[in-house]
């Protein structure tokens, strides 16, 4: 098989995947294909099915229906071979606190079967990637939250996997620490690895992903480059109006929707998408707005009626 043939095999393939928990379909007919060499953000609110999807990809959970493959390996039948070619970053911290940073990495270098001759270089590389080069002998229990999360990410990269799965890699972290971790993910992206990253942070998905798949109620409702999705569904700008009471809100909605524009309610304000296209005759009847740039959350709410965060 030529290198071109290999690259034509999708990194991830799911077709008609269903996972039920009792009467609840957490994943409901999911179709998703991820080509090699891209970063795909799986964006959706809690309960959309993102973590369940990740668990099925790693064979921690078995699909009730549908087909799953990783780099051409059928899951779960060939999950052993698939796991050897991918790295998994769990949502929850499971580092060994009694060991040092290097000892944690060395233990996983055995688990990932990194050849003896390459272990030292592999550990040094991951320490550089995590910006923890001076912390190798530090016990994990003495690291800050951001350092621990960086270590958790790079631990999955010791064996230079072709595919990396990240389930909510920055959940629960403050914005400053989150941005530090974005640097690690960006460096991984620059190395050409395929990354599937589930998240419910809009800015994270927009900044890090080549493409995003918007997920709601167990299936993908739309997919594309972040900028393309925003341009398609939300335009360049949003104007937010604060009407007087519920009656005023409904009246503004009828006026704007009647001219073919999409609106969304955000608390006591009414957001008008594609506001740059509003005729002046309509804008004059709406009052003074607050203006902002459109974003992926506008797209998500427009398509699903749900809020991402």
pLDDT for 198-212, tens place per residue? Answer: 988 888 888 889 999
The per-residue pLDDT for 278 is 92
The per-residue pLDDT for 149 is 86
Pair (188, 138) in one structural domain:
yes
Pair (47, 117) in one structural domain:
yes
The per-residue pLDDT for 183 is 81
- Judge whether 255 lies within some domain: yes
Pair (173, 285) in one structural domain:
no
- What phi-psi label fits residue 36: left (phi over 0), alpha (psi between -120 and 50 degrees) or beta? beta
Pair (121, 242) in one structural domain:
no
Question: pLDDT: is 233 or 129 the higher one?
Answer: 233
Pair (26, 99) in one structural domain:
yes
pLDDT in tens, 179-200: 877 887 888 778 788 999 998 8
pLDDT in tens, 132-179: 999 999 999 999 888 898 899 889 989 999 999 998 888 777 787 778
For the cut 70, the answer to whether the pLDDT of residue 289 exceeds it is: yes
- Average pLDDT, whole number, for the chain? 90
Single out the residue in 225, 255, 280 at which a domain terminates: 225
- Judge whether 301 lies within some domain: no
CATH of the domain at 255: 3.30.70
Backbone angles phi, psi at 35, to 5 degrees: -70, 160
Pair (165, 22) in one structural domain:
yes
Single out the residue in 225, 251, 281 at which a domain terminates: 225
- Judge whether 66 lies within some domain: yes
- Judge whether 230 lies within some domain: no
pLDDT in tens, 212-259: 999 999 999 999 999 999 999 999 999 999 988 767 889 999 999 999
The per-residue pLDDT for 76 is 95
The per-residue pLDDT for 3 is 41
CA–CA dist 82, 72 (Å, integer): 8
To the nearest whole percent, how much of the chain has pLDDT over 70?
Answer: 96
Pair (191, 239) in one structural domain:
no
Q: How, if at all, do strands 263-266 and 269-273 pair?
A: antiparallel
- Judge whether 298 lies within some domain: no
Total domains in the fold of the chain: 2
Single out the residue in 225, 254, 281 at which a domain terminates: 225
How many residues are recorded in the chain?
309
The per-residue pLDDT for 1 is 35
Pair (81, 208) in one structural domain:
yes
The per-residue pLDDT for 217 is 92
Domain region containing 144: 3-225
Give the ranges where the chain is alpha helix by DSSP (H).
3-8, 50-57, 79-84, 101-111, 116-129, 145-155, 175-190, 202-208, 226-233, 245-258, 280-286, 296-304
The per-residue pLDDT for 224 is 97
Pair (166, 271) in one structural domain:
no
Pair (244, 107) in one structural domain:
no
The per-residue pLDDT for 33 is 96
pLDDT tier for residue 6 given thresholds of 50, 70 and 90 = low
For the cut 70, the answer to whether the pLDDT of residue 46 exceeds it is: yes
CATH of the domain at 30: 3.40.50.300
Pair (246, 195) in one structural domain:
no
Question: pLDDT: is 169 or 14 the higher one?
Answer: 14
CA–CA dist 294, 286 (Å, integer): 19
- Judge whether 205 lies within some domain: yes
The per-residue pLDDT for 4 is 38
Of the candidates 113, 94, 74, the residue with the CA atom closest to the CA atom of residue 167: 94
pLDDT in tens, 59-99: 999 999 999 999 999 999 999 999 999 999 888 888 999 99
CA–CA dist 285, 253 (Å, integer): 12
């Amino acid at each position: 098989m030529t290198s071109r043939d290999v690259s034509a095999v999708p990194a991830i393939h799911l077709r008609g995947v269903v996972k039920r928990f009792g009467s609840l379909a957490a994943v409901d007919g999911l179709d998703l294909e991820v080509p090699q060499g891209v970063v795909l953000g799986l964006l959706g609110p809690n309960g959309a099915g993102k973590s369940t999807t990740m668990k099925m990809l790693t064979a921690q959970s078995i699909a009730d229906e549908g087909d799953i493959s990783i780099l051409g390996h059928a899951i779960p039948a060939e999950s052993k071979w698939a796991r050897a070619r991918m790295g998994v970053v769990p949502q929850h911290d499971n580092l060994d606190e009694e060991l040092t940073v290097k000892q944690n990495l060395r233990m996983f270098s055995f688990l990932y079967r990194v050849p003896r001759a390459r272990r030292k270089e592999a550990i040094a590389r991951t320490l550089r990637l995590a910006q923890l080069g001076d912390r190798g002998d530090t016990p994990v229990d003495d690291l800050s939250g951001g350092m621990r999360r960086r270590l958790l990410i790079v631990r999955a990269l010791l064996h230079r996997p072709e595919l990396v799965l990240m389930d909510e890699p920055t959940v629960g972290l403050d914005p400053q620490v989150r941005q530090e971790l974005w640097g690690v993910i960006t460096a991984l992206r620059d190395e050409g690895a395929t990354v599937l990253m589930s998240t419910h942070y809009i800015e994270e998905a927009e900044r890090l992903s080549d493409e995003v798949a918007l997920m709601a109620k167990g299936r993908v409702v739309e997919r594309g480059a972040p900028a393309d999705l925003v341009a398609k569904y939300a335009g360049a700008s949003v104007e937010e109006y604060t009407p007087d009471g519920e009656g005023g809100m409904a009246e503004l909605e009828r006026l704007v929707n009647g001219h073919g524009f999409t609106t969304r309610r955000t608390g006591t304000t009414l957001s008008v998408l594609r506001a740059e296209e509003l005729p002046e005759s309509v804008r004059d009847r709406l009052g003074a707005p607050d203006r902002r740039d459109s974003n992926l959350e506008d797209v998500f709410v427009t398509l699903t009626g749900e809020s991402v965060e």
